[in-house]
Structure 1
């Protein structure tokens, strides 16, 4: 105090000290105001150095570990995947608030090392900024032109059901694995839209491409690849990473060959599919000298890869869950087939029939809900600082919208862990929509192929339940059919065989 009093004897020092004290006071006010504005960060378990919270997570089924943590820490919480900080959103209301009501703030994609390896920042699924906007806008517009979710694609799907039915018939009611034929059929729908033609199921090039793409989805969800995302320098020493890179290289090479063939026969006045339209737009940009055009070979190849990955595995996987669940619950299969026989009879099902098949429609929705194909969605990242649900989340924070917590939200579903088509039926047996039905995600990053996937699921499912009865292999009871999903980025059924008995 004596020193301060002594300094105050000098007028200039008194002025300087007053200014310093004023600035200090002003800084404290601002800091306090900033803290109040930002709020506190989401709670979560205390992380260990380097490992973060990995010891609390089952890397084979991280979505289950995160659901358990949400019971302790709430619907918005922080967890550390190694050194990486992630904010997890759990429950229908919280996920909807983020993805729909705060779509801009939560709308960017978090591009992990493995997803960068797969896409190089191009395409639709794992790009951001102008590249994402331009590619998504172009894809949506042109996929619609080629009939995605309309009559034009309905005809392609119906045609493909006929080819797949012939494959099922060849097994003559004997047990078989549905995986490959179903994936080939669904992949052919995308092929017809993207390339303008389908492939024979025995085409070795086609089979290899589909099999590699599906293997990649399984590998991406493996524990070793999750560790790679946290410590990318480990890549060259990981068997799964090397296999993934080899598969990607092979598929890119095959796609370039297919594009090259289409380029050689391109007629801008008669485009056969999505690739033709893209090549025409690319050619136009080159002629106009657009140096910064986003319509280049890399965006074309990785957009094709995205369309196949998003449009094949998820729909094919959902169909296989459907067939398995029908074999598991024959009384539900009975009701579906009774309704199809009564309403449609022996003719080919069409999309227009959906409104007259409420129970069948409810079963398809319940298959999607219980199958829970993409339990953690694709990772998002915040595009700016966000004050959300009383918490402050910094710009650039990775966010997991936990879709499994939406599809099995105990406050939204009467029996969330049970296969129960009544979730989608009212008291009069009419189909009813449910807000918490969110298998395609929501908001800016909602699946762009949702309308096509819904059409495929309805037409394939009704057509196959019309012609086949699905049962366990001889000597296996319904109770023995295992509903535990296999490990992977998407949740496929565990390896199994079924019998498809002809009903005709």
Structure 2
């Protein structure tokens, strides 16, 4: 009798999860109990791209797949994505993420990336303001990035590296990490701070890898999983969590000990936040701006800004080495523009370097750094393409598949910068190139990232030609987690 009872309960659960709950949802692949379609997703050659393309071909541009027991509606057509996140942005503005994971990892609903509601709106607005105030798009931030570009060039000119096999990615990582840390805490990773940087980089990379695994995705996105199970499912990030936040607290405590609240000028993001927090506390508001929120916002900026950008530039150089005739065109363009005068390129030079910009655009398109967009949640009931979706339904705007869409980018697997150059030799804007996502959840650091890509990569090509290492060409295979990682490669470089 007990076995029959449990069998009936199991049957009822399966009918409810995979038949009753699918009423009104778009069609999609059949999920398996508990895990849904996660193993199909993680087992594909390019998670988030090839398997979603297969499902798109089979079910159409809008379909449903399951992360664990939870259904998510996936949009793969650019116009559908535009109609939702741009023209009806408020409806798709919430994040569909596990409050249990946030409680375990963040201590509650803190940060910017993984929360919704008023706190998200307030702190996203504050972060965007500080990016602008602290110099994004202005000479102040440009000068900080150029310091890293100049330091990188000096390192590559040393006798130990010149014309020898070396890991360029390690040097790029330090440059990108220094820009982020300058913005957050006001200092760069010079020689005395390299150990600190290496440890933080390892912790961030390990975190991304752990939450990109099937169990990590399940814990990260699904509601209702008991906290002790969440902890077991992502046990690999326990050390990363502890050490990352210890580092962040140390920097914040250092800023607190030195700040003068009577001054108005802010040297970095943490100073600006502490002054805002102090102002709110004078009005008896001790909740909206607090230490836990500051720690988590700093984590968001570090994690999102570092991993995506360093891999973007790493892929860009890897493609240049794999396509030497294209790299030669970059060098020729820079040499002709500068008339062989030796100086650093600045943002004022960017518009003149059409081919480099086209090459960088194509590198971003094919590297496709974010293989699967994190899910949003509907803030109200909607009718979408004939389907009635209830408030709270998870929706994934699959940008990665837009950038490999054959109807937009013909022969999309071919690396071709010329697709971004028009018949008049001008840089062509293709709005479907959207590596920083779209809508109200679009990457807040897009402006800073674009500055870094140009000032770091263009100046490397300005001073060096990059060649294959003795063990061959860099791999263009993408090592997937939450972010597509370039496979570490060695190369050679010499001064033309």
TM-fit CA distance, 1:117: 3.9
> Which of 267, 270, 276 is the equivalent residue of 1:281?
276
SS at match of 1:438: coil
Alignment partners' CA distance in 2, 1:420 and 1:195: 39
Contact 1:366–1:421 (8 Å) recurs in 2 = yes
Write out per-residue CA displacement over residues 73-100 of structure 1, whole angstroms, 9 at most, x where no aligned residue. 1111111122111111112222222211
Q: Deviations over 1:413-452 (max 9, x none)?
A: 1221111101210012210100101100000001111111
Q: CA deviation at 1:213?
A: 1.3
Q: Distance in 1 between matches of 2:449 and 2:390?
A: 35
| Residue 45 (str. 1) matches residue 34 (str. 2) | no
8 Å Cα contact 1:43-1:77 kept in structure 2: yes
Q: Which moved more, 1:262-271 or 1:326-335?
A: 262-271
Q: Does 1:490 align with 2:475?
A: no
What secondary structure, in the 3-state scheme, does the structure 1 residue paired with 2:383 have?
Answer: strand
Native 8 Å contact 2:320 2:327 kept in 1: yes
Equivalent in 145, 164, 183 of residue 157 of structure 1: 145
Q: How big is the shift at 1:45?
A: 2.5
Normalised to the residue count of structure 2, the TM-score between the two structures is 0.88
User: Hey, what's the Cα distance between the residues in 2 that align with 1:367 and 1:55?
Assistant: 29
SS at match of 2:89: coil
Distance 2:35 2:297 in 1: 35
- 1:6 aligns with none
Q: How many residues align?
A: 460
- Where in structure 2 are the equivalents of 1:447-462 lying within 5 Å? 447-462=443-458
Equivalent pair of 1:470/1:499 in contact (CA under 8 Å): yes
Per-residue deviation, 1:201: 4.5
Structure 2, gaps ≥5 residues long = 1-22
The aligned residue for residue 65 of structure 1 is 51
Question: Which residue of 2 is the match for residue 377 of structure 1?
Answer: 373
Deviation at 1:115, TM superposition (A): 5.5
Aligned match for 1:399, one of 389, 395, 402: 395
1:191 offset after TM fit, Å?
1.4
What whole-Å deviation, never above 9, does each CA across 1:39-76 have from its counterpart, x for those lacking one? 94211123333343345433464312122111111111
User: SS at the partner of 2:425?
Assistant: coil
Q: Of the candidates 411, 417, 420, which is equivalent to residue 421 of structure 1?
A: 417
Report if the CA contact (8 A) 1:181-1:201 is conserved. no
SS in 1 for 2:413: coil
| Structure 1 contact 322–367 (Cα < 8 Å) conserved | yes
Query: How far apart in 2 are the matches of 1:290 and 1:471?
Result: 57
Map of 1:75 onto structure 2: 61
Of structures 1 and 2, the larger Rg is shown by 1
1-structure distance, mates of 2:103, 2:82: 27
**In the alignment, is residue 207 of structure 1 matched against residue 222 of structure 2?**
no
Q: Which residue of 2 aligns with 1:249?
A: 242
Q: Does the 8 Å contact 2:358/2:420 carry over to 1?
A: yes
Query: Residue 48 of structure 1: SS of its match in structure 2?
Result: coil
Residue ranges of structure 1 left out of the alignment (5+ in a row): 1-38
1:486 alignment partner, SS class = strand
**Is this contact kept in 2: 1:201–1:207, CA < 8 A?**
no
The one of 143, 154, 171 aligned to 1:181 = 171
Aligned partner of 2:460 in structure 1 is 464
Is the contact between residue 259 and residue 275 of structure 1 (CA under 8 Å) also seen in structure 2?
A: yes
* Structure 1 residues 55 and 155: alpha-carbon distance in aligned structure 2, compared to 1, 3 A threshold: closer
Equivalence map 1:51-200=2 (5 Å): 51-54=35-38, 56-59=40-43, 61-63=46-48, 64-112=50-98, 114=101, 117-119=104-106, 120-170=108-158, 171-200=161-190
The verdict on how the C-alpha distance between 1:50 and 1:322 changes in structure 2, with shifts beyond 3 A counting, is same
What is the RMSD computed on CA atoms of the aligned residues?
Answer: 2.0
Cα pair distance change 1:133/1:228, threshold 3 Å: closer
Aligned-residue offset at 1:255 = 1.0
In structure 2, what is the equivalent of residue 356 of structure 1?
352
1:265 equivalent to 2:258? Answer yes
**8 Å contact kept, 1:178–1:498:** yes
TM-score normalised to the size of structure 1?
0.87
Change (3 A) 1:350 1:67: same
